[in-house]
Amino acid sequence: MLFYWGTKPVPHPAMEYVQLASGQSMPAVGLGTWQSHAGEVERAVLDGLEAGYRHFDTAFNYGNEQDIGRAVGAWLDGGRGKREDLFIVSKLPVFANKPELVEPYLRKSLARLGLQYLDLYLIHGPFGMLADGSGEVLQLSEDGCPTLDPTTDHAAIWKEMERMVDLGLVRSLGVSNFNVDQVRRLCKSARVPVSVNQVELHASLQQRHLVDSCRQLGVAITAYSPLGSPGAQSHFINKYNYSPDNFPDLLGHPLVRELSLKYHKTPGQLLLRFLLELKVAVIPKSANPTRIRENINVFDFELAPEEVEAMRALDRGESGRIFNFFFWKGITKHPEYPFPLPEEPEIIK
């Protein structure tokens, strides 16, 4: 059995850890950085390090690796800790989902972060698309359609990711936004194990089948958008015209509020603790110093089994999903689009 859940005395005194199939330990609470912009993310990472975070999640397409690298570099140079104390995650962008692009994009991420190696490198999404001429962003038509690359071959990309491990450029490998079939298929051909599947997971989208199946395969789950991503909600509503009616208000949910009052915790802490009880890692994003500290101080209380059950009832299944990627028009036509399609696909107004 590859999966364990335990405690270690450093760095946050009560941090919980996930044992990965690779043999590495991943801190169960990490700092998310999507929408943490230049000018704020450097401070956020430093605040996170001071608060006891050692796990940081970024991606090529968040555009902030350089700023994160500056913060980490300053912390290391200042003698505050050692590289091996950190767990740094980045992701191969969906527009580089081709074997020959793995090494160049990994090297770009490393150069931006100023690191010799990553702790975990994820295939950001199971579907491949084309980049624009700059190679920095997705190629989009005027009406927002990406150019899909239907030839995406996970096993071939993975082989190249394994070579990156052999080269010492990354310690553990994983995927993101993969469904059970895709994870299972990849596990069959993988020489270096699939350590993590990073997926949208919060009280409104609990994905029990995915979590249980991945655990059986020895693949740990990292929950992204663990608070229900208020940031993504406003971004999708404003930029992509999503209907607000489809989004959960987890932080304002009466049960979340009731339980948080009972434990003298905030709704955010309650939502994170609920996910930790399910033995999944969480990577809440915050650029606010108070909330950064708040989100890691979730180890001094536990939910009773009946409270976990009550929280289970908040699961809205597929209708709780925020990241369906419909903002990339035509994405569902990609042969590796991972999610079940709703009967009425038109959830964008």
Ligand X SMILES: O=C1CO[C@H](CO)[C@@H](O)[C@@H]1O
| Interaction between residue 34 and ligand X (CB under 6 A) | yes
**Which residue, 59 or 271, is less far from ligand X as judged by CB?**
59
Which amino acids are annotated as binding site for substrate, given as ranges?
124
Instruction: Give the interface segment with ligand NDP, choosing from 46-54, 131-139, 184-192, 226-234 (CB under 6 A).
Output: 226-234
Long-range CB contact pairs, 80-87, < 8 A, 24+: 80/49, 81/11, 81/49, 81/54, 83/115, 83/116, 85/10, 85/11, 85/54, 86/54, 86/55, 86/56, 86/119, 87/24, 87/26, 87/27, 87/30, 87/54, 87/55, 87/56, 87/119, 87/120
Place of tokens 């899909």: 148
> What helix, strand, coil percent values describe the chain, rounded to 5?
40, 20, 45
| Interaction between residue 32 and ligand NDP (CB under 6 A) | yes
- Cβ within 8 Å of residue 176, ≥6 positions away: 91, 122, 123, 124, 125, 197, 198, 199, 224
Site string for ligand NDP, 240-279 (x = CB under 6 A): -----------x--------------x-x-----------
**Which residue, 323 or 339, is less far from ligand X as judged by CB?**
323
Which of ligand NDP, ligand X, none binds 270 (CB below 5-8 Å, type-dependent)?
none
Give the tokens for residue 349.
């107004």
Count of residues that bind ligand X according to CB under 6 A: 4
Active site residues: 62
| Interaction between residue 61 and ligand X (CB under 6 A) | yes
| Interaction between residue 97 and ligand NDP (CB under 6 A) | no
**Which residue, 102 or 201, is less far from ligand NDP as judged by CB?**
201
At 142, is the secondary structure helix, strand, or coil? coil
Task: Pick one of 59, 221, 227, 311: the residue that binds ligand X (CB under 6 A).
Answer: 59
Residues paired with 5 in a beta bridge: 18
Residues at the contact surface with ligand X, assessed by CB under 6 A: 34, 59, 61, 323
Binding residues for ligand NDP (CB under 6 A) = 32-35, 57, 124, 176-177, 198, 224-232, 251, 266, 268, 283-288, 291, 294-295, 323
